[in-house]
Amino acid sequence: MSLTWKTRRRLSLLILVVALPVYVVVAVNIVALFERPSPLLELGVYAALGIVWVLPLRGIFRGIGQPEPDDERDEG
């Protein structure tokens, strides 16, 4: 079952507005459980966590910025 463009667009908005801030709070709290590492290592951990969240969701975000494929509006 494939999601329609409109459903993917709504789902991506929900992910960015609700799920991403929750992910950030959880990631910061998990990192805070351990002794604070050096600033470079901490930056690396946050950079890795910033990439990891989008890998399973890339199919939802792919093509969202483009016009709707079934849109028949004139380009002039």
The whole-angstrom distance between residue 76's C-alpha and the CA centroid of its chain comes to 33
**pLDDT of 71:** 62
30-69 tens-digit pLDDT: 888 889 888 999 899 899 999 998 899 898 888 888 888 8
Question: Is 72 a domain residue?
Answer: no
Domain range enclosing 53: 5-58
Give the three-state DSSP class for 76. Answer: coil
Question: Is 68 a domain residue?
Answer: no
Element of type H or E holding 14: helix 5-14
**pLDDT of 64:** 86
Question: Is 13 a domain residue?
Answer: yes
The whole model's pTM is what? 0.74
Closest CA to 54 of 25, 10, 19: 19
11-26 tens-digit pLDDT: 999 999 999 999 999 9
Question: Is 28 a domain residue?
Answer: yes
Angle subtended at Cα 49 by Cα 44 and Cα 61, rounded to the nearest 5 degrees: 130
Query: How far apart, in whole angstroms, are the C-alpha atoms of residue 61 and residue 65?
Result: 8
Question: Is 46 a domain residue?
Answer: yes
Question: Is 73 a domain residue?
Answer: no
